Structure 1
Amino acid sequence: MQSLSRSIVRSVGRVASAQPRWWIPSFAQRDAPLMNQKKQTKLDWQRLWFSFATIDLIDKAAMKKAAEESNPILDVKSVTKDAYYMPIIPGSSHGDAIMNNLRLDWEIDSDRTETRLEPARGYYMTCDMMQIFSLKLTKSPINSASLQLYGYIAARDEFDLKLNYVFRRSRDDPIIVQQGSLIEMTGPKRCIAFFSDVLLEFDMRIKNGEKGEDDVQLIDGILEFKGHVMRWEPGELRIGGSCGAVDMCFALVNNAVTAIVEVIISEVKNGFDLSLSSIVDVVKVPEEFQLFVGPVRESCALRKFVIAVTIDSVMHLKFIAGHKGTKGNVRRSCSFEAKLNGYARRQIMLDFASISVKVTWASWVPAQSP
């Protein structure tokens, strides 16, 4: 089975619309015939399902040890029992391997193009997706009440092999965070397809002066998520650097489609604080995560949110509007059933504003059979 990491360098010259390879089945579709798998032999299927069956036999102690050796800041005791332990690939920092491709067993294409969000046309189908729920600054090398954080975290999948930014801030526009607080995500632009492997690249720094050379590196490198050893329950990953750490909460969502959520706030009479969260089923367990929190002072449109949702399940959006330090916050919610395509609208009327919600469903176009 060819990994994404090897496929990236072999894809040099491939156009952005190149078709992905469809060899990993969705658990929800494993009893149905798979497209483009007619040549799959019985032995191949036996080997594939054997790899899934042996996931629980992995030596987790060895994984923890490897992660600790790679990430000195990793504190295993403070990570939940559902945590993933993944060492950063040696030599994958931006100072050595990503740009000059010298010290990895496989090379990474130097293409830094951002992925594009294109609606599916023609035949529609679901696929497995990786959903990132939150990022949190777990440990900082600087002892300060607030920090200016910038840089990026991006995923590469086999849909187009381009960078799909989950977090991206320039040094001139850092985000203000505190240790232990959530890091507001700025993406992804589209859902992260989990056909086989996914790479996670990151380079995050703390602004610490007038010049860039005075800044402090938080995390830097690459992680590889391999499909045949991934669990499907929500879990937490600690991305550790030499002097800091970021926790990432995520899950694999099977048989999924993409919900593109657009929220427009109008008729604002008085400024208010808004919290928006989403609730989706992951392995039939509800998982709630925050999409937006902040003040609303005038009519505006929030950034688009993309959420992986299992087909035919229901996605809930929860709104809490009011003012900090006061009682009587207004709570509203709306629900949307996941479909292969199409869209739905909801209108929420408040005394001090109107909230319009549009959810557009998008799915993948499979590769054509040879």
Structure 2
Amino acid sequence: MASSRSRPPLSSMFMARWWPSALARGASPLVAAFINPATARSLPRFPRGSRNMAAVSRAQADDESGKPHRRLPISSGKAITVSKGNENGNVAGCDQDRSSAAEDLTVEIVFSEEDGYAVNDVLAQSRHRDGSIYRGVDSLWWKREYRIADRTETRLEAMALSNPTNCVVLDGTCITHDAFSMLQFYSVELAEVPVDGGSVELYGYIAVRDDIDPLLNYVVNISRDDPIVVEEGSLINMTGPKRGTYIADSVLIEYDMRIKVGEEEKYDIQLIDGASIIGPEGNWNRPFTFRIPGDGGAVDIILSCLLYAVEATVEVPISEVQSSFNLSMECLSSGFSEEIRLFDGAVAESCGLKRSVVVVLKNSSIDLEFKVVALSSSSDHQHCCPFRAKTHGHDTQEIKNDFVLISVKVTWSTLPGNLSD
């Protein structure tokens, strides 16, 4: 596991204040307290409780300036506001009504303009197109620790500890392998584009790097040879992540997405480009929107930091196909109403759907919702498969009708403490 000793304290990067709507009507604002990542590292699986989440951003690293780290004075900063979701988690399940509107929270993030800080979510010297992300890899802590120069995909697979042999069981519960603090991605949306009312050809990637294995764990990965056609406000299909993402200290999200214009890449429009850090401080166990701004638009990622979570790997073999049908599969995790789209398309023959990894709060559950529409008769079949979270092992269910058999397998695992586990 990567060490955080050379990393500047997250508390020196920003201060944040948050106002739930009730408090905004007269109560004093709460000032979030931030801890040193070295303290969080001493309890790596469980960072402290629910506080305000904000993106760490720097326009100039202390490694470059040589200036000491210090807490930034609120009085010297400018503020931006971000809308958040329901404070209570908006609990929902297969048979529950998810139409109720979430109560908004307003988050004010105050940055100092001193020492090179700026109101911006993109790290300085993190651009791919001008090559700045590959320069100074030994002088900037985040380039060192997240091994930015290494373009290899993470070697750690999902289900790493689904069937361990070194468990110590007490009262029927494994006490050797426990839940971790993990990051869940719900959706990626094309929030802004430079084209009014039209579709664009989009390609590129969004990946996350964590401390267990800081190599690229792709959330979105689209080649230029096979771009997707999307409009502003459309969801971008997630290809990953390949495994659960660990976030006791911080994670780095790296991205390079472009709009294809012609035959030559040099004419393509840069949508988003760079890297951002999400730290451990914030409102845990509920979804929030993280916007990535870019020269040619913006991308919104809905995610959440889950305390005491396990990894669920969803595998769906489809067999006994009698006729073609459209299938949509969505997932609700940990009682939240934010849907994760796992599949949406046509099925004409027996196959296996792409394996999906979902993060689930310990002692909670996931609900897999299937909608099957036969093309021959337009008949609509809806099914829900709930699964209760476990530390190890797997669970299965089946969906069978007149024209298809859908098998559902969910394999449970915790994360290894390091690659040697």
Output the TM-score relative to the length of structure 2.
0.68
The answer as to whether partners of 2:53 and 2:279 remain within 8 angstroms in 1 is no
Q: Residue in 2 aligned with 1:217?
A: 270
Choose from 168, 179, 186 the match for 1:126. Answer: 179
Q: Residue in 2 aligned with 1:357?
A: 408
Label 1:193 to 1:324 Cα distance change in 2 as closer, same or farther (>3 A).
farther
Q: Does 1:252 align with 2:286?
A: no
What displacement does 1:287 show?
3.5
Q: Residue in 2 aligned with 1:12?
A: none
- Map 1:279-318 to 2 at 5 A: 279-281=332-334, 285-318=336-369
CA distance in 2, matches of 1:344, 1:103: 46
- Per-residue deviation, residues 249-273 of structure 1 (Å, max 9, x unmatched): 1111111110000011112222111
Q: Residue in 1 aligned with 2:152?
A: 113
Q: How many residues align?
A: 316
- Map 1:183-202 to 2 at 5 A: 183-202=236-255
Q: Secondary structure at the match of 1:181?
A: coil
Q: Residue in 2 aligned with 1:69?
A: none
The answer as to whether partners of 2:212 and 2:418 remain within 8 angstroms in 1 is no
The answer as to whether partners of 2:210 and 2:247 remain within 8 angstroms in 1 is yes
CA distance in 1, matches of 2:350, 2:379: 22
Q: Which stretch of structure 1 is more off in the superposition, 168-177 or 223-232?
A: 223-232
Q: Residue in 2 aligned with 1:159?
A: 212
- Per-residue deviation, residues 268-303 of structure 1 (Å, max 9, x unmatched): 22211111011112xx54443221111112211111
The answer as to whether partners of 2:244 and 2:415 remain within 8 angstroms in 1 is no
Whichever residue aligns with residue 202 of structure 1, its letter is Y
Unaligned 5+ residue runs, structure 1? 8-19, 28-47, 67-79
Choose from 324, 328, 334 the match for 1:275. Answer: 328
Label 1:113 to 1:268 Cα distance change in 2 as closer, same or farther (>3 A).
same
What displacement does 1:90 show?
2.0
Whichever residue aligns with residue 165 of structure 1, its letter is Y
What displacement does 1:330 show?
0.7
Q: Does 1:64 align with 2:80?
A: yes
CA distance in 2, matches of 1:304, 1:84: 38
Q: Does 1:336 align with 2:362?
A: no
Choose from 295, 300, 322 the match for 2:373. Answer: 322
CA distance in 2, matches of 1:64, 1:325: 52
Q: Residue in 1 aligned with 2:89?
A: none
The answer as to whether partners of 1:4 and 1:199 remain within 8 angstroms in 2 is no
Q: Does 1:181 align with 2:212?
A: no
CA distance in 2, matches of 1:363, 1:206: 38
What displacement does 1:345 show?
1.1
The answer as to whether partners of 1:191 and 1:306 remain within 8 angstroms in 2 is yes
Whichever residue aligns with residue 201 of structure 2, its letter is Q
What displacement does 1:159 show?
0.8
The answer as to whether partners of 1:197 and 1:224 remain within 8 angstroms in 2 is yes
> Going by fraction, where is helix more abundant, 1 or 2?
1
Whichever residue aligns with residue 388 of structure 2, its letter is E
Choose from 91, 104, 124 the match for 1:90. Answer: 124
Label 1:164 to 1:90 Cα distance change in 2 as closer, same or farther (>3 A).
same
- Per-residue deviation, residues 55-82 of structure 1 (Å, max 9, x unmatched): 79x97x945289xxxxxxxxxxxxx756
CA distance in 2, matches of 1:160, 1:245: 28
Q: Secondary structure at the match of 1:227?
A: coil
What displacement does 1:232 show?
3.8
What displacement does 1:183 show?
0.3
Label 1:210 to 1:82 Cα distance change in 2 as closer, same or farther (>3 A).
farther
Label 1:5 to 1:274 Cα distance change in 2 as closer, same or farther (>3 A).
farther
Q: Secondary structure at the match of 1:114?
A: coil
CA distance in 2, matches of 1:230, 1:4: 25
Q: Secondary structure at the match of 1:185?
A: coil
Q: Residue in 2 aligned with 1:17?
A: none
Unaligned 5+ residue runs, structure 2? 9-39, 55-72, 83-103, 110-119, 167-175
The answer as to whether partners of 1:201 and 1:223 remain within 8 angstroms in 2 is yes
What displacement does 1:328 show?
3.9
Choose from 26, 33, 38 the match for 2:46. Answer: 26
Label 1:83 to 1:331 Cα distance change in 2 as closer, same or farther (>3 A).
farther
CA distance in 1, matches of 2:270, 2:215: 24
CA distance in 2, matches of 1:155, 1:214: 27
CA distance in 2, matches of 1:337, 1:229: 26
- Map 1:69-80 to 2 at 5 A: none
The answer as to whether partners of 1:97 and 1:104 remain within 8 angstroms in 2 is no
Whichever residue aligns with residue 364 of structure 1, its letter is L
The answer as to whether partners of 1:5 and 1:107 remain within 8 angstroms in 2 is no
Q: Does 1:99 align with 2:138?
A: no
What displacement does 1:323 show?
5.3
Q: Which stretch of structure 1 is more off in the superposition, 226-235 or 345-354?
A: 226-235
Label 1:201 to 1:293 Cα distance change in 2 as closer, same or farther (>3 A).
same
Output the TM-score relative to the length of structure 1.
0.76
